[in-house]
Amino acid sequence: SVPVSEVVGVEEGRVHILPKKSVEDTDKDFTVFYVKRCRSGGSYGLLWTLGRTQFSCPSRVLRDQWIKDLRAAVKNYGPLRPRRLLVFINPFGGKKKGRKIYYSLVAPLFELAGISSHVIVTERANQARDHLLKKDLTGFDGVVCVGGDGMFSEILHGLIGRTQQEAGICENDPSAALQPCSLHIGIIPAGSTDCVCYATVGVIDPVTSALHIVIGDSQPLDVCSVHQALTHRYSVSLLGYGFYGDVLAESEKHRWMGPLRYDFSGTMVYLCNRSYAGVVQYIPADPVLSSPRDRTRCLSGCSVCSRSTDRLVRHPSDSGSLHKSHYGHFNSHSEDEWVTVEGRFRCVSLTCMSSSCPRSPLGLSPSAHLADGTGDLILVWNTNPLGFLKYLYRHTGAQDQFDLPFVEVHRVTAVRFSLPSSKEEGEYEEIDKQKTPDSFLCGLCCATPPPVSVWNCDGEILPVTEVFCRIHGQLLRLYARGIEDQARHNCSE
């Protein structure tokens, strides 16, 4: 049996949609298309494919009645299903197959489901963001990005910015209670990195993502605002200082290498053996709700995120009251409630999700949640090169990367990072020299290490050091449902 919520469409005759539409027109037959699940090999999520079942009726009148009733049931059962979408295609991302992926795999599914779309093929960076900030969005149910994490970031900034503009909220104010976006975002993976898609769906597959959009799945998502001076950025997957910032900065010098530049740059930065002095302050989240070391995973129907929805949304009938209690609590924090640590770090990372990907199936923080109003702060203190290599290697398997003496992880609601005073910086350097003798790796690739790093904000460089970060609970909604548990579904291989 197939639930009505997962019926994609009903067509007259004997019909095939993918890979190419074909119709055998008969008077008494009709075809029902639905979501079919199958295992995805090495991935933790489930692949969705387009299932198809054909029915024959004794008469054409009866067939037409069946089609009418089924279409009415699908329409009435799925009020959140999109009817009109704004689609942005990045033709340059990944292997430059964005156009082909959309028109050959995604557009036929939208047509089958009766979804109309306005397609824009971007020609420059930030075109999608600028369009969302300035153009009329009336009549659209959601925005779809065909590309990688960079394109998603553009749409994220555009939609959040547009929502705050219309609400009269200053985004540069770290204490402002940001309004959640009304339009959903759909992600069709077609980039060099598709971390957000992988962490929210569990697979990188355009058909799976398109089917989540078609049936109107809705997954809330936390967003981290990053404030520096009088500007701001938003992050959902990784805000990293030190190693991850250096890797991104190095990779920008080798864009001609394509996706391979990340492996090359990671190796070069590792060999440089750098660490940076800093002062990290954070507000701990309520440990009763969840912990970054509790070994649980945020899956579809996550109880932690569901409880957080009840906690964050007190008055659902009044959109202006969304998150008020959460942010009122944030604003009531005194300086005494900030926890401060300082020293030299290999990397400082903050993530609002597991940040899993095919190369790191469990991600930076395996027990992070998509929509609980918190982020996971990961501090990797200065250590020897082999120790740091062990930390990086553990991301590729099932070993606990936090079970190392130089690694800390904290569930937080806000973070501040600053540089120590000149005197303290000199003390850290002296201690560092005493603890870490010259290594054959140290300075192999850079004779004079830079005094500061840069921030990697979801793949964009922030050339600053001091930042203020704050987690905004369930600020966005994606056309997704979280990673489905394979054990709960009977799937074909």
CB atoms within 10 A of CB 79: 7
Task: Classify residue 257 by its DSSP letter.
Answer: G
Q: Is 403 a catalytic residue?
A: no
Question: How many alpha carbons fall within 13 Å on the CB side of residue 210?
Answer: 27
Block residue for tokens 């004997």: 14
Question: How many alpha carbons fall within 13 Å on the CB side of residue 305?
Answer: 23
Phi, psi of 490 (to 5 degrees): -85, 105
Three-state secondary structure call for residue 488: helix
Would you say 87 and 144 are in contact if contact means Cβ atoms under 8 Å apart?
yes
Three-state secondary structure call for residue 33: strand
Q: Among the options 149, 194, 246, 372, which is catalytic?
A: 149
Would you say 463 and 199 are in contact if contact means Cβ atoms under 8 Å apart?
no
Closest CA relative to residue 9, chosen from 222, 211, 312 = 211
What's the start-to-end Cα distance of the chain, in Å?
A: 19
CA pair distance 226, 239, nearest whole angstrom:
9
Closest CA relative to residue 214, chosen from 104, 12, 98, 49 = 49
420: left (phi over 0), alpha (psi -120 to 50) or beta: beta
Catalytic residues: 149
